[in-house]
Amino acid sequence: MGLLSAPFTYAILLLAVPLLAIVLFSFWTQDFMDVNTTFTMDNYREIAEKPIYFSLLQRSLYVSICVTIVTVVLAFPVAYFVSFKVHPSRKSLWLFLITIPFWTSYLIRVFLWKVILGYNGVINSGLINLGIIEEPLTFILYNVNAVIITLAHAFAPFAILPIFVALEKIDRSLLEASQDLGESKLMTFLRVTLPLSMPGLVAAVLIVFIPTIGDYVTPELMGGAGGKLIANMIQVQFLQLNNAPLGAAIAIVAMLSVTAISLLFVFLNRRWLRGRS
């Protein structure tokens, strides 16, 4: 019991206390520097009445879902290749290469994508030189598309690693038995490999989906006026408008939305796996 008390206290201080403080703040009001601690639902009432908050939350959920789908779909082949095709002695090298993006600052990676997707960036310059387009493409920067591309690249390692771990745990004899019983490689993948890798897929989905909705750096630098997300509104309320209670209320609404969608995904996944067993 003594061994658990210290980590439990540490988790309470770092996780539960800040969360409870945000919840408490969301029921207060603030007029510039004056905070009124009287319990009120005004902040949540304002969120419900003004459509801008729902619009930003809807856009944020859309971006997070798109980023999650793109990241997981692209990450699975990489994880599968490293797990099944790479020699065991070289797997550590591949994992080392996958984690290389973590060596650089997140801001640097975002700014590099600005260079790649910019009006005179690598993509536009290359397409013009190849004669594919005559004028630079304008829909790949300072909009939602740029945010999705940048976030998908940033969170790719977070999706690859849990999927790889799940694939590594699959008993290879099960795949051999499936093919010995007459199943093709495709059906073996669909009926054996994919279901057994589902824990890694679920972990990848949650690891990517939950943080992306709270990212405000990428939308700020890559989104332009039409690519701002709910996290940018929270940042504005806390740091620019000096309205921490409203920012806290927006954060609570965003967290509840993410929690509901995540729990629904886990529930549907369990029902799917139960139906196959």
CATH number at residue 215: 1.10.3720.10
Confidence of residue 36 (pLDDT cuts 50, 70, 90): confident
Distance CA 97, CA 52 (A): 42
If you ran DSSP here, which 8-state letter would residue 121 be given?
A: S
Q: What angle do CA 273, 171, 91 make, to 5 degrees?
A: 110
Q: Under DSSP, is residue 31 helix (H, G, I), strand (E, B) or coil?
A: strand
What band does 268 get if pLDDT is binned at 50, 70 and 90?
Answer: confident
Per cent of the chain over pLDDT 70 is 97
Predicted local confidence at residue 173, as pLDDT: 93
Of the pLDDT bands very low, low, confident and very high (cuts 50, 70, 90), residue 276 is low
3-state DSSP call for residue 143?
Answer: coil
Identify whether 24 is part of a domain: no
pLDDT digit string (tens) for 100-154? 888 888 888 888 898 898 888 888 888 888 888 888 888 888 889 999 999 999 9
Q: 30: alpha, beta or left, given left = phi > 0 and alpha = psi -120 to 50?
A: beta
139 lies in some domain:
yes
Per-residue burial over 242-252, b = 16 or more CB atoms within 10 Å of its CB, e = otherwise? ebbbbbbbbbb
Is 28 within a domain? no
- Assigned domain for 107 exists: yes
Lowest-confidence range among 12-26, 82-96, 150-164? 12-26
Could you give phi then psi for residue 34, rounded to 5 degrees? -95, 120
Look at residue 4 and tell me if it is in a domain: no
- The structural domain count of the chain equals 1
16 located within any domain: no
Return the percentage of the chain with pLDDT > 90, whole number.
Answer: 57
CB of 154 within 8 A of CB of 218? Answer: yes
| Residue 241 in domain | yes
- pLDDT of 1 higher than 60: no
Range of the domain at 245: 45-276
For residues 207 and 65, give the distance between their C-alpha atoms in angstroms, rounded to a whole number. Answer: 12
Q: How many CA atoms lie within 13 A of 32 on its CB side?
A: 0
